[in-house]
Amino acid sequence: MRRVPGHQIGVATKIVYGVGALSDSIKTFTFATFLLFYYTTVLGLPGSLLGLAMSVGLVWDAAVDPLIGHMSDRSNLKFGRRHSFMVIGAVCAGASFIAVFNPPSGLSTGALFAWLMVSSLCLRSSNSLFMVPYFALGAELTNDYHERTSIAGYRIGAVLTGTLLAMAAAFLVFLPAGSTSASDAKFGVKGYQSIGVAFGLAMMATALVATLGTLRERARLVATSVDRSDAHGLSRTLLDALRDGSFRVLLLSSSISATAGAINAALGLHFLTYHARIGAGAAMTWYFGGFFAGALAGVFVWVRVARKVEKQYVYAATMLATAFVISTGYWIVGEGRLFGTGQLPVLVALSGLAGFFGIGPAVIGPSMMADITTHDELRTGHRRDGAFFGIYSFGQQVSTGLAVLIAGVLVDKFAGLVPAQAQQSPATVERLVLISNVLPAIMFAGAGLIALRYRLTRLEVQSARRDVLSHASDVASIPGTLYAVGGPQSDL
């Protein structure tokens, strides 16, 4: 499936499409920010068991994401090969999210572990059912090198705006300061249960908006033929993808950075509660608000910078800058450090800088992925966005799950955190901040250096397109021949 040449994508379409990413971002934000804290500190599940539940999801993701992408590439369904999967995933993801944050009361440790594992597996599967075709659809909306970055910018802008609202709701409505007998709502159960219901419904609604709002775009897309031959089956596609040097670099770099970001986010409440010593409510809202404000500014900046500078250099530079900013949380904040504890303005400033630089890879990465799938189509004549983005999504989801596993085990075995206890020893606090800030910073730096090995440039994509167009012109001149760039045409 490819965009009809010459068609311009309207702003309304970009916005409606971008809203769909809110479904995944709400899940990612809530899981990264609250899941570890909620299940270990509030519900009392050992961190190692939570990590084990997440590790089971890693094995499942290894199969389901590329498979969904491949099925989406090859399907011929009533509402289109992308939208048919998206609508089912939208509904199921919202329902599964509600279940994760609303386990029945009074469960034993074993039963609580089982509930988390089963509900999170359902959520992973349904989230993939929506997000893999969703990202593939975004790559198919345009063939323009810079327009892909614009689409990614709108998507990230929608994500940040919506996630900022979700964050504000979480800390001002569901976890306000002083709303429990312990004076800190972060240690209460009801707030997290309400978050589960409200955010689960929001996930469902935003995913359906993007699915139904982009249905009309099917009429402006040319579908490639559905190839069901063994020569282009899933195993062949996986091998082809992994043979692509630029794809391997981006997959590895993005997976490492996703792991780093998820570890940092998963332990964010631990860092703020025990090391920086700020409470819930307005203070948390200002802190996370600083991050999203910086990220929104970064979207506008990095989309424009990427028009002047090769994407991989913007990607790598923002990754390295993020590593530096995150590491400063250990060196200058906390007991005995330069700015001490409770310094909200300093924390907001650091959070804003982390958001400004950290959003760069989130904007540029999917655009680079779309370049890779387009280059693959130009070389092979087969459009395989679903499979490529399935592998990419697998890397992101595995990284997030692996991050929770790493964080859970390190919280237990390295930091020695005592579950369901508001006060922790100084040694535990020191080790928590090493895990939450220094370790992710090292990983971000490594991911940025790896990204410098990415080799697919704008000139290379444009050169490949000229070669294919030239060949297509030669073939089209032969009587009785039907040829379309990207493969034979067929109806939706």
Q: Identify the CA nearest to 375 among candidates 265, 482, 243.
A: 243
pLDDT digits (tens, 9 = 90+) for 418-467: 876 778 898 998 999 999 999 999 999 999 999 999 988 888 877 766 66
Domain boundaries, the chain: 11-213+232-465
**Would you state the CATH architecture of domain 11-213+232-465?**
Up-down Bundle (1.20)
pLDDT single digits (tens) 367-407: 898 889 888 888 887 778 888 888 887 888 778 777 877 88
Q: Write down the pLDDT at residue 277.
A: 85
pLDDT at 337 over 80: yes
**pTM for this model (two decimals):** 0.72
Q: Kindly report which listed range (113-127, 262-276, 444-458) carries the lowest average pLDDT score.
A: 262-276
pLDDT digits 0-9 by tens, 202-233: 999 999 999 999 888 765 554 444 444 444 57
Least confident of 112-126, 141-155, 463-477: 463-477
Average pLDDT score over the chain: 83
> What confidence score (pLDDT) does residue 452 get?
95
Contact 457, 353 (CB under 8 A): no
**Segment 165-172 mean pLDDT:** 83
pLDDT band at 168 (very low <50, low <70, confident <90, very high): confident
Residue 260, pLDDT above cutoff 80 = yes
